[in-house]
Structures are given as C-alpha cells and as structure tokens.
Homo-oligomer: A and B are copies of this chain.
Amino acid sequence: MQTLTVSLADRSYPIHIGSGLLGQAEHILPHLKRKQVAIVSNTTVAPLYMQTIAQPLRDAGVAVIEIVLPDGEAHKNHQTLQIIYDHLLQNRCERNTTLIALGGGVIGDLTGYAAATYLRGVPFIQVPTTLLSQVDSSVGGKTGINHPLGKNMIGAFYQPKLVLADIDTLTTLPQRELSAGVAEVVKYGLIRDADFFDWLETNMSALMHLDAAVTSYAIYRSCENKAEVVAADEHEQGERALLNLGHTFGHAIENAMGYGVWLHGEAVATGTVMAADLSQRMGWLNAAEVARIKAILQAAKLPIDAPDLGADEYLRLMQLDKKVADGRIRLILQQSIGKAVITADYDAEKLRQTLSLAA
C-alpha cells in the first residue's frame, strides 16, 4: 500500500492506494467519530463490493446502513440526493455518523454533497471503485449534482477524511470505463507533468491491461499531481482550473448528447483534442504534439472526434461553464505538452473554427 497526503491545514487527509484495501477495516476505523456509517453505493457496485467493505466493519462493531442508488450520471440529480437524505433521517443519523461513498464519480459526488449538506456537514470517506474516480473525482473535495440546465451546477467544496483506492476493483470495470479514467490520467501529463506523459506513452499498453505495478504508479502519480494542485488552490481561484483541460468542450458534449450517453472521460478526451486543436491554431502546439496527444488517447481506446453540433450550439452550451467570467468563456489551452494555461485571450474566430470541426 502506498499513501500520500492532501495538505489542507486542518482539512488534510490521506489517500491510500493498493490491493485488498476494501476488506481491511483498520484503514477506516481510526477516522470514525462514532461507530456508525452509512455506505452509499449503486446497483452495479453494491452486489460486487458492498459486503467486502461492510462485513469487516460490522465485525469491528460498527453499525452499517446500506444505501443503494440507481446507477448512472442520469441519476446524479436532486431526486437521488433526496433518497440519501431520507435514509439518513429515517435511520436518525447524527453529526458523528460517517458517510462512505462506494462507487465511481457519480456516487462520490452525490455522497460528498449529501455529507456537506446533511445537518450542515457530516464526515465522509471516499472509496472510489473506478479508475476515473481514483485518479480524479475522489480527491480534492468537489462535490455536487447536475441541474437540468447544466452539469455540476449545484455543489460544495467539501473534503473527505480519507480516500481509499483499491486497485482490485478495476478488474470488474468495463473497458470503456477504464479508458474514460485513462483520459484523466493523461490530463495530468498534459497540464503539468511532461515526464509522466512520456512514461504513459511507454506504459499505456500495460496500464490498459491493469498491470498492478503500472496501475498503482499511474494512480499514485495522478493523485500526487492532483493533491499538489488542490493544496495550492482549494477553491479553484487559479491553478486548479487547469484540471479542467478538455472539460469546457467536454461538458458541452455531455450536455448536448444527454448526460450519460457519452462517458465523462470520453467527452473529456474529445474535448482535450479540441483544446489541442485550438492551441495549434493559436500557434502554441505544433502538428507533432497534437499527433502525440491524439495517439495516446487512441491507444487508450478513447474517442477523439467531436460530434458536429455546430459552432453556435457549442458556444451556447459552453457559456454555461462555471469558469465563464464577465460573460467571457475561459479555456484551458496547451502551451506545450506538460504546460497548460487558463485564458480568455484566444482568437474567437479560431475557436469558431475548432467548434466547426474545420480541417
């Protein structure tokens, strides 16, 4: 097991990465204020892993409430949130009750937001079971739900007490979701870690085959990058926005196609290619660099061709992005592989060419 720390003063917390962690209650027990937890999972993950984590806790004398939600991004909404609140209230959960999120990003975001808002805040623990949530969404305290008018529009910054990333859970992950997670791994290389990008080019095949050492290292290094960014800018006033490489384009795609049709990581991969395309049009990336970006995403079996929504529709959807400031869309663009910037200082006509999927 490897451990690293997200450094946020009195809200610092450890991330444990390794094999077999789900069945080891000793990682969780020291973080409980009271021997009562509510484990929130979904209909896909709960049959696989709920008892793996719940039974050792029960054996250690912890009262465990199980909350099983419908699966999918389409359920990351207010209605599903109410299901969590209802269970917590019916079971008289108190301020010392710890919520445990067992699942992917949707479960983590929903559970984290429920924890942030139930009784004005109760402790929670992230147990991410997808690659995407292990390398990205479980770390950093972004929680929230979607609104019919936009993704992640309602939420809170709320840090977990612990992140437990068990790589064994990736063996049951569909290949398409594994690929979606790799999109975020590649992102860290692109925005701030050129060496990691090089390493990924070499090790992509092993990662896609879930070689244990390669997978653990990829998760560790991703979390390390994310932890550094979050520690420097918890509330996304500056550098943290770089983590949204590809996301402004990607959110527009997800929103247009209907939440859950494209996986988040697939939309991000395609958005990353769009950001690279605009970066090339701005003269910041050369053709070879763009080709490397496309190649590594293709090696991860990710889509790189954006749907043709028309530039106007893209612009309309992108206006909903949380990074819009004074009506101006700010984008994360590449200055090189390993260096991204957030900027509103791009050529609007070139953005239109990118969105028109012009050759």
State A94–B89 Cα separation when bound (angstroms): 33
CB-defined contacts of A120 to chain B, threshold 8 Å? 142-144, 152, 155-157, 235-236, 322
Contact with B along A331-343 (1 / 0, CB 8 A): 0000000000000
The reply to whether B119 and A322 contact each other, CB–CB distance below 8 Å, is yes
A320 at the interface (CB under 8 A from B): yes
A147 at the interface (CB under 8 A from B): yes
Chain B: which residue is nearest A35 at the CB level? Answer: B326
Report how many copies the assembly holds. 2
The reply to whether B118 and A86 contact each other, CB–CB distance below 8 Å, is no
The reply to whether B89 and A121 contact each other, CB–CB distance below 8 Å, is no
Task: Give the interface residue-count category, chain A.
Answer: 35 or more
Interface of A is mostly: mixed
Contact with B along A301-334 (1 / 0, CB 8 A): 0000000000000000001101011110000000
The reply to whether B96 and A149 contact each other, CB–CB distance below 8 Å, is no
State A95–B144 Cα separation when bound (angstroms): 15
The reply to whether B144 and A96 contact each other, CB–CB distance below 8 Å, is no
Contact with B along A157-180 (1 / 0, CB 8 A): 100000000000000000000000
A29 at the interface (CB under 8 A from B): no
CB-defined contacts of A322 to chain B, threshold 8 Å? 94-95, 119-120
The reply to whether B326 and A34 contact each other, CB–CB distance below 8 Å, is yes
The reply to whether B326 and A153 contact each other, CB–CB distance below 8 Å, is no
A260 to chain B, nearest CB (A): 20
A117 at the interface (CB under 8 A from B): yes
Contacts A89-B147, A94-B324; is A235 near B121 (CB within 8 Å)?
yes
The reply to whether A149 and B90 contact each other, CB–CB distance below 8 Å, is yes
A255 to chain B, nearest CB (A): 12
A20 to chain B, nearest CB (A): 32
The reply to whether B117 and A325 contact each other, CB–CB distance below 8 Å, is no
Contacts A34-B326, A85-B147, A95-B325; is A153 near B90 (CB within 8 Å)?
no
A40 to chain B, nearest CB (A): 16
State A117–B158 Cα separation when bound (angstroms): 11
State A94–B82 Cα separation when bound (angstroms): 26
A78 at the interface (CB under 8 A from B): yes
The reply to whether A89 and B320 contact each other, CB–CB distance below 8 Å, is yes
A113-140 interface with B by 8 A CB criterion: 116-121
CB-defined contacts of A320 to chain B, threshold 8 Å? 89, 92
Contacts A89-B149, A147-B89; is A118 near B154 (CB within 8 Å)?
yes
A23 at the interface (CB under 8 A from B): no
A89-B153, A92-B320, A120-B152 given; name 6 further pairs at CB < 8 Å.
A95-B325, A96-B326, A117-B154, A119-B322, A120-B144, A121-B235
